[in-house]
Structure 1
Amino acid sequence: MRSNNQGLVNKALQQIKSILRLKKSLIFVILLFILSLSASSVFAQNHSPEASQLVQQGKELYNSGQYTKALPIWQQASETFGNKNKPLEQAMSLSNLSLTYQQLSDWEKANKAITKSLDILHSLKTTKEQQRILAKTLDIQGQSQQKTGQSQAALNTWQQAAQIYINLEDRDNKTINQINQAQAMQDLGLYPRACQTLLLSLGLENRECYISEPEITTLKQDLINNYKSNIQKAKAFRSLGNNLRVIGDFQQSQQVLLASLEIAQHWNLPQDESKTLLNLGNTERALAISSAEIRDIQQSETYREQAIIHYQKAAELSSTFLQIQAQINQVELLLEQQNWKKSEELLRQIHTNLERVLINKDIIYAKINYAKNLICLKQKEPNCLNAQKPNSSNVDESSYQEAVQFLETASQDAENLQDKRTRSYAIGIMGRLLESRQEWDKANKYTQQALYDSWQAQASDLSYQWQWQQARLLKAQKQQQKALFAYSQAVNTLKSLRSDLVSLNPEIQFTFRESVEPVYREYVDLLLQPIETTETSTENLQLALLTIDSLQLAELENFFRLVCLDANPVVIDEVTQQNDPTAAVIYPIFLEDRFEIILKLPQQELRHYTTPIENKKEVERILNRLTQSLTQANSQETLPLAQQVYDWLLRPAQEDLAQSQVKTLIFVLDSALRNLPMSVLHNGQQYLIEQYSIALIPSLQLIDPKPFKQQNKRALIAGLSEARGKFAALPFVRQELQQIQTQVPRSVELLNQTFTNEGFKNTVNSAPFSVVHLATHGQFSQKADQTFILTWDDRLNVNQLNNLLRSRDIERNSSIELLVLSACETLTGDSRASLGLAGVAVRAGARSTLATLWQVNDQATTILMERFYGALKDSTLTKADALRQAQLGLLNDPVYKRPHFWAAYVLLGNWL
């Protein structure tokens, strides 16, 4: 064929020479005619189109979704480039072939194609073009790895490609690569890193995971005006909104996603709009849960309805895969609303759609979630396969068999993809289903296999769940020692998982309260149950104490969604013997059927007391009533309720405490007790504050027990006396600050207009302060973004306060000895709001924090603070002693003797 072609070319050249003498006007026409004949002959004798035409045809078919038709085109292009000895073009064709196989879920052939492409590229000399194609090929390989559950491998691959894009100064492809990396990081639970990567892709560098409203508005407007030149930035913007939800910043997530929705609607991009609506529905669902936790039922229902609307619209606009995701999420909300009929209709549609989609990791998770929702529909119980809801006996056999079939298919699909992680999840859920039917042997078999697969996949966030599941199975079969061992394994895995636990896993959709906290509590429960007639051993007491203390730490890390706490293991004897031999440490632990109290007296072994309770919900109601009564100045309920709680927590230890000559009680409070000041407990004759100095510590691992340095004490005192927005005036704040200045002469004051965010920041950085006193409105919540203090022009949330105070500590190599928040309150109805108080105390880096649990009388606060700072001058008194004297001063004043006025003040952290 080649010799025939060459002959035609030679003949054409001879003809050209023969006509060179013709007039110039005829030359061009004749040349075109002869060359066109020559080209036609070559094309006809080759019997194949040019490779460049194949590439264009392959792209058009791929972009139009005709993947089956695109396959032979890419194969032919690869062979043609190979025959023409054009390795770079061949490698690129093979990469596109792999990408097309990925769309068809033919992962084996996709991997073969990409491997061959990389082999060719690595054999070539390094040039700019070779590096460009290599980087894109690595991107395609990373996609294959990520979609088959190999997220760590995908991250490594994408990081290799990123370095090439940096060297090539290829900003557009670098942005795409950063978005891909962020997805892999989220798969691995590295949510803060993913967030920072996305911010970087948007041109926002060197920050924690935060984007301001002006930045959101600017990015939205830029993308509306210049979308076509910033398509990848728009995708990063949407991904950021999704990531912000996962790390728990729901309000910011909603703002970013609403902005992304405007962009997609402006440019009429239905697929982008569908993806954004799906993510927006997920965020509103999270907001609904958050509102329910603080008992704002109306707002919770509003968010839930908005989520359902957005899921419905996402399903209408989307392809089959996105439609399935949106419908499954919608079903879960409908089940929560007990809308059984609509749930059943949607499940039928999902079943049909699942039968005609190609398999990838996301579809496998959809099958698992379909099976779970089917069981919950038949049982008429939302989230019925949670570990805390173990019964599914009222599910009919046909529905049970259908769920089993979907789980087994999901398991087999994952095995075909060689995705051990996803297979582990499918098998583990099967074990959970069998556990709910009390089929212990079968459940144990599946649980063991799921655990083995999770180990092979190095998926510790799954391993602990199957270890916990195994522990429950053993406990149900009365195998207490084996169950204890399984619980200990689960807890140890959780400790090693600190970075993964700070965020929700969007695939598995667990929350801290449902799937982390119960592991610790069930383990402690079992540790403190005596075996037959034997008393709880000292070893088990020590293990229980360490376990509940670790739970306190994990709760705070979950509060911040960051592993940011400087925790150090502390031996309890060191705290009570070396630092304060007159202090006792008390751990009251609230379990399902009893209070367990662990007491550490100076120079004595741990002691253990048990108070049985008949009804946990009734106890919670009494605790809440006592907390509510304290916020009312004239409540008649406070005293009898305070006596009841004293009987539960301290009556059993009363005699031991009295004989020990202890002067200070250090409480490490369980979550249900944290909103309640221990000072108000009453033994029938006296309040606890009349007997002891009292302090709280969020965790034994988070204290720095060093005496207060009286010398060269310098204070920053700031406050608001005037009303700001919905926050009322605090007229006595001016007097409070003046009196503190008389007690601490070396003070700098910021009052009203001077107490701005910027003014506070500049003052904090101007000099070292051992005391920071803030007399302003504030709020504590179980959510970091709802925990703040008020300044003249804005709010400082807990993380912003941390950034100011921590950066100052690092620069000046000095810590704040005492942080005082004298007008804050816990968020009403939020049962875990004191997490916000503990969070401020820990995150601000202060050794001690004095704060109020509810908004107290303005004048009473001024009196108490004057006495507190006056008592601090006495070097023989600890901070806990100084607070006790100030509180007793109010207690003994006829005007302020009721607990409402003096009990709100609590000291957290170092009490010395």
Structure 2
Amino acid sequence: MFYKKYRRLLVFILSALLGLLSSLSIPAWSNSSSQQVRNSQESEKLSTPQLPITNYQLPITQSPALDLAREGQQRYNAGQLEAAAKLWQRAAEAYQKAGDREGMSKSLINKSQALQDLGLYPTACKTVLQALAIKNPACSPNQIDEVQKTFAQQQGSLSLTQGIGLHSLGDILRKQGLLQQSQEILQLSLSAMGESPAKSGVLLSLGNTQRLLGNQSRDRWDYDAVTEIIDRKSLADALAPYQQAFNYYSQGAKLASAPAIPKIQAQLNHFQLLLDIQKWWGEQTQRRIASWTRFNEADLIQRAQDFLSQLQSQLNQDAQALQGEIASQLGNLSPSRAAIYAQINFAESLMQSEQLDKVEPVLSTALQQARNLQDRQAESYALGYLGKLYQKQGKFSQATTLTQQALMLAQEQNINGDAREVTYLWQSQLGRLLRKQGDSKGAIAAYTAAFSTLQSLRSDLNANNQDVQFDFIQEVKPVYVELVDLLLQSNLSAEELNSLIVSNAGLKEQKSTTKQPQERLELARRVIESLQLAELDNFFQDPCSETTNVAVQIDNIDPHAAVIYPIVLPDRLEVIASLPGKSLQEVKIPISEQKVNETLDRLYDNLDNASINTSARNIVFTSNPDPKEFQDNLQTLLPIFGEVYNWLIKPFEAELDSNKIQTLVFVLNGRLQRVPIAALYNGQNYLIEKYSVALVPSLQLINPKQLQRRPLKVLAAGVSEQLKVQGEYFAALVNVPKELDQIKQTFPSSKKLLNQEFTAKTIQKQLQANFPVVHLATHGLFSSNPQRNFIITGDAKSISINELSTLLRGQDRAVELLVLSACETATGDERAVLGLAGMAVRSGARSTLATLWPVGDASTTKLMGQFYQDLKQPGVKQADALRNAQRSLLESLKQNPPFPQLKNLPPHPYYWAPYVLVGNWQ
């Protein structure tokens, strides 16, 4: 049965009437996980799945098909989704046998809705296409394009049932991340609605799709583009991505025929969107104010403050108007599950906007209605959010009691279904409350249970629904970090710790490659590893990393390497070091998270922040650089690199020396990800002068085998000409031909593709010859938004990270090494290195070599030439080859500095430090 393995999304269904689609629709936050009610930024509360249309415009006379359809409706209303889907399938077959095409279509649309609720989007899509009389439904992008064209030609004559089917299809496409196609299909659905009350639901869906398209557009802005909007104080540009969503929400709420539920859905989503926009721009503006404050840029600071004040004033005015309308309408809703969740939704938004005094009456009403209706799931939510409110108010004892009650109810739901996505929420909330009350042992138990739940969900977090995302930073990541914090602070023995770990926690089940008991440091290390994997999955909205159920140790990979795990906690920095054959070592640095971030921000501002006039990036790319400015910049940077060295390396210097460690491997998170680790400075030398350096997202992703050198051949492609791609100019890389020629000379069996020879098609064709190394010398970008991960090809086109990954997976053998010699990570993006790590993981490449910021192609050509010469030598690791190449650049800069004033200073890291090796370093 295809229902056996699925993520059962929480289903919130109206229990009134038989569900005439023309008059009722499911709440905007229904049909999904707990995050919908939590109002997460991308939550599925944005969706607007419709109540099934059983009996819509059907004759009242009884028939076997109608009986099946009505029973399906009853099962659906009771949350029995599998049974409902099967009954509607039988009803569709009965209608088909009776020659009733309309009845068959409606039953199939109903079945499709149940499949959506089960999270089975591909199957739901095929079912609704069948309802729309599409032959051989496969739901491929090409077929969806054909469906759109076909129905567009019939736009003036579409029936209401066809419009309803298209509405369902549009929602499915949004959930699968096909936003443009979702928008086009929903526009067709809207044209079929006339003045039907169902029109309000379509407008709501269009608003939800446009909101996600708005997020997509906004996330394509780079650091400089956002800075420019702030500097120009352009409210219009700041809000531009969301204007269409605002319009659709307003239209859906104001539609005269709109039923109460979809009307308030539109208002709730509109209200939440205003809060989310305000939060995003507040964070972005404060980040720039912090940078400008460090450089006494008073004018820029004032402009930023003016911008934020004006934007907040406008958004607050709109939000207050909506809040008043929502509050007045909530009281008029008849008690139902839809009304309960609307109130919880509203309460969460009020908490987000710090209006705590208005929350308790709303949640108390929701709780009482849930109890009157004997709706245990709704009662769990109401209790849990009351607990969250009391926690915010400092009423910890009451909050704990309510959270425990909410958790018990959620766990009851797990007996007959899958309520993990709400269970983890209350488990982590309970952990926070117990910790605040000094019960660290109980807190560890609660957080471990939450960790267990998240681990069991890991492959499901984003597998089916592209616009259902856990609010990773706000909701998921803290579970891992809090658990690590508690473990590192605890004095519990291994036996006590193991007694707290539930049997399915993912920690206890995981096989260890050592016979030692699981100490707190080992548990903490493995939680951090799990966090890295979860963050990668969240980054791609896809569980792209396959791992074994084994606790991987550095001993099994490289006896001459050590792994450094920096963990930034609110009140301190903890660093765990893993050396072969040794117990884990731990160092506590008494520096707050705020101070750590301020230090790393100063490093970034002076090194690569394009909005700071005296950053190294701006000085280097000035037509006539000022030597004194460059000297001052270096003398500012070196103490900061020294401070980070003292955090991460100095505490372990003796151990590293005595164990003859040659390679340092870093598992980084947060702002540390944008630090060029090779440039850490001990007062005399850079780190790269003593150690080879590599970055890994997790040891569990490392294949311990070394690169097979013989016969080694490289697919080397590059672009040397200036190109204009999608309106943006990319400068000529005049040294690329020399770079490719060097590779061809070093490895004669290599293949070279230059300029027009370098296209997606030629890469695909050449990869059939199984190249272990792929070298791409072209402009490219990696960022925390997969939409902004791309490389430029010689035919003036771009290849996305997903397209390139698909190409690389096309050859029989996995790519050993992917080199991106002219790519860079997005300016100011601390999660951009995830793009590099993810590229390797997604494409099957064992490692990736790229750069953190733009570098001159002449120095890159020199470095790459040396890198491949070393890589050719038997037994030389990739990290060692990169180290030798960087040291060669260092020596060259010492002998021939760019300015005479730098003769007696260490070579500036901007010229040699951006090169990073991510993944397998061997």
Scaled by the length of structure 1, the TM-score of the pair is 0.75
Query: What is the SS of the residue equivalent to 1:457?
Result: helix
Could you tell me which residue of structure 2 aligns to residue 746 of structure 1?
Answer: 749
The 1:430–1:732 alpha-carbon spacing in structure 2 relative to 1, beyond 3 Å, is same
Residue 236 to residue 779, structure 1, CA distance change in 2 (3 Å): farther
Name the CA distance, whole Å, in 2 between partners of 1:892 and 1:825. Answer: 24
Report SS of the residue matched to 2:519: helix
Residues 137, 898 of structure 1: alpha-carbon distance in 2 compared, 3 angstrom cutoff: farther
Give the distance between the partners of 1:706 and 1:234, measured in 2 at CA: 56
Distance 1:516 1:907, change over 3 A: same
Q: Give the Å deviation of 1:720.
A: 1.6
- Contact 1:260 1:276 survives alignment (8 Å): yes
Query: Which residue identity does 1:482 align to in structure 2?
Result: G
Counterpart of 1:670 in structure 2 is 669
Q: 2:783 aligns with which of 778, 781, 785?
A: 781
Matched, 1:373 2:376: no
Equivalent pair of 1:714/1:768 in contact (CA under 8 Å): no
Give the equivalent residue in structure 2 for 1:732.
Answer: 735
What amino acid maps onto 2:201 in structure 1?
Answer: K
1:679–1:903 Cα contact (<8 Å) kept: yes
Q: CA 1:253–1:169 in structure 2 vs 1: closer, same or farther (change >3 Å)?
A: farther
- Determine if the alignment matches structure 1 residue 307 to structure 2 residue 307: no
Task: Please report how far the alpha carbon of residue 487 of structure 1 lies from its aligned counterpart in structure 2 after TM superposition.
Answer: 0.4
Does residue 1:257 correspond to 2:267, yes or no?
no
Shift of 1:273: 5.3
Deviation, 1:300, is 4.8
Give the Cα separation in 1 of the matches to 2:53 and 2:131: 27
Aligned to 1:226: 154
Contact 2:577 2:585 in 1 (8 A): yes
**Aligned CA distance change for structure 1 residues 61 and 465 (closer, same or farther; 3 Å):** closer
- Structure 1 residues 607 and 401: CA distance shift in structure 2, 3 A: closer
Looking at structure 1, the residues matched to 845 and 921 of structure 2 have their Cα atoms a distance apart, in angstroms, of: 12
**Secondary structure in 2 matching 1:609:** strand
| Distance in 1 between residues matched to 2:101 and 2:555, nearest whole Å | 60
Match of 2:741, SS? helix
Aligned to 2:764: 761
1:835 is matched by which residue type in structure 2?
L
- One-letter code of the match for 2:654? E
Q: How far did residue 538 of structure 1 move?
A: 6.9
Identify the match of residue 772 of structure 2 among 770, 773, 780: 770
Residues 1:554 and 2:517 aligned together: no
Unaligned 5+ residue runs, structure 1? 1-58, 68-95, 104-113, 122-129, 381-391
- 8 A contact 1:715–1:771 mirrored in 2: yes
Amino acid paired to 1:777: H
Q: Which residue of 1 aligns with 2:427?
A: 467
Count of matched residue pairs: 766
1:171 and 1:716 map into 2 onto residues whose CA distance is 56
* Per-residue deviation, residues 855-905 of structure 1 (Å, max 9, x unmatched): 211111111111111101111211111111111111111257432222111
Shifted more, 228-237 versus 652-661: the winner is 228-237
1:404 equivalent to 2:363? Answer yes
In structure 2, what is the equivalent of residue 321 of structure 1?
A: 261
Displacement, 1:518?
A: 0.9
Larger radius of gyration, structure 1 or 2? 1
Task: Give a deviation string over 1:560-593, Cα, whole Å, max 9, x none.
Answer: 21223211244343xx334321110111112222
**Residue type matched to 2:822 in 1?**
A
* d(CA) in 2 for partners of 1:784, 1:206: 29
Contact 2:169–2:185 (Cα < 8 Å) also in 1 = no
Displacement after TM superposition at 1:370 (Å): 2.2
Q: What displacement does 1:454 show?
A: 1.7
Separation in 2, partners of 1:768, 1:171 = 52
For 2:588 and 2:537, how far apart are their aligned partners in 1?
29
SS at 1:823 equivalent:
strand
Distance of aligned partners of 1:883 and 1:457 in 2 relative to their CA distance in 1, 3 Å threshold:
same
1:364 lines up with 2:343 in the alignment: no
SS of aligned partner of 1:779: strand
In structure 1, what is the Cα distance between the partners aligned to 2:809 and 2:94?
37
Counterpart-to-counterpart distance in 2, 1:166 and 1:779: 53
1:275 partnered with 2:201: yes
Q: Distance in 1 between matches of 2:122 and 2:616?
A: 39
Confirm or deny: 8 A CA contact 1:146 1:154 kept in the other structure: yes
Query: Where does residue 87 of structure 1 map in the other structure?
Result: none
Supply the distance in 2 between the matched residues of 1:642 and 1:66 (Cα, whole angstroms).
61
Q: Aligned in 2, Cα 1:863/1:315: closer, same or farther, shift over 3 Å?
A: same
Query: 1:97 & 1:589 partners in 2: Cα distance?
Result: 49
Per the TM alignment, residue 524 of structure 1 is displaced from its structure 2 partner at its CA by: 0.8
Partner of 1:50: none
- 1:872 aligned partner, one-letter code: L
State the distance in 2 between where 1:204 and 1:892 align: 67
The structure richer in helix per residue is 1
- Residues 886 and 913 of structure 2 are in contact (CA less than 8 Å); yes or no, is this contact kept in structure 1? yes
Classify 1:268/1:426 alpha carbon distance in 2 versus 1 (closer, same or farther; 3 Å). Answer: same
Aligned equivalent of 1:909? 919
Per-residue displacement from partner, 1:755-792 (whole Å, max 9, x unpaired)? 2222222222x322111111122111112222122222
Give the Cα separation in 1 of the matches to 2:678 and 2:99.
63
Tell me how far apart the structure 2 counterparts of residues 601 and 479 of structure 1 sit (CA, whole Å).
33
> Which position in structure 2 is the counterpart of 1:594?
572
In the TM superposition, residue 666 of structure 1 has moved relative to its aligned partner by 1.0
Alpha-carbon distance change, 359 to 205 in structure 1, aligned in 2, over 3 angstroms: farther
Residues 25-84 of structure 1: CA distance to partner in whole angstroms, max 9, x if unpaired?
xxxxxxxxxxxxxxxxxxxxxxxxxxxxxxxxxx999798699xxxxxxxxxxxxxxxxx
Instruction: Give yes or no for the alignment of 1:804 onto 2:760.
Output: no
Relative distance call for 1:501 and 1:217 in structure 2 (3 A) is: closer
Cα distance, 1:435 vs structure 2: 1.8
- Residues 466 and 194 from structure 1, CA distance in 2 versus in 1: closer, same or farther, beyond 3 angstroms? farther
2:266 partner amino acid: A
Amino acid paired to 1:260? L
Partner AA of 2:187 in structure 1: L
Q: Within 1, Cα distance between the matches of 2:541 and 2:339?
A: 28
Distance 1:309 1:66 in 2: 22
Aligned to 1:602, what secondary structure does the other structure show?
A: coil
Bigger mean CA deviation after superposition, 655-664 or 490-499? 655-664
* Higher relative contact order (CA closer than 8 Å, sequence separation 6+): 2
The within-5 A match list for 1:217-616 is 219-227=147-155, 228=157, 235=164, 238-239=167-168, 241-243=170-172, 245-246=174-175, 249=177, 252-254=178-180, 256-257=182-183, 260-261=186-187, 264-265=190-191, 268=194, 274-286=200-212, 291=218, 297=226, 298=229, 300-317=238-255, 318-335=258-275, 336=278, 337=312, 339-340=315-316, 342-358=318-334, 360-376=336-352, 379-380=354-355, 392=356, 395=357, 399-412=358-371, 415-416=373-374, 418=375, 420-458=376-414, 459-502=419-462, 510-531=470-491, 539-573=519-553, 576-614=554-592, 615-616=594-595
- Aligned partners of 2:817 and 2:849 also within 8 Å: yes
Give the percent of matched residue pairs that are identical in Structure 1 and Structure 2: 40
Q: 1:259: how far off? A: 5.7
How much has 1:692 moved relative to structure 2? 0.3
CA separation of 1:436 and 1:604: change in aligned 2, threshold 3 A:
same
Distance in 2 of aligned mates of 1:62 and 1:165: 19
Q: Match of 1:749, SS?
A: strand
- Seen in structure 2, the aligned counterparts of structure 1 residues 722 and 488 have a Cα distance that, compared at 3 Å, is same
Contact 2:72 2:88 (C-alpha < 8 Å) held by counterparts: yes
Deviation string for 1:157-188 (max 9, x for gaps)?
Answer: 55666788999999987776665555445544
Contact between 2:866 and 2:885, CA under 8 Å: does it hold in 1?
Answer: yes
Segment drifting more, 722-731 vs 702-711: 722-731
Counterpart of 1:549 in 2: which secondary structure? helix
Which amino acid in structure 2 is aligned with residue 364 of structure 1?
I
Give a deviation string over 1:660-701, Cα, whole Å, max 9, x none: 210001111113212222111111111111110111111111
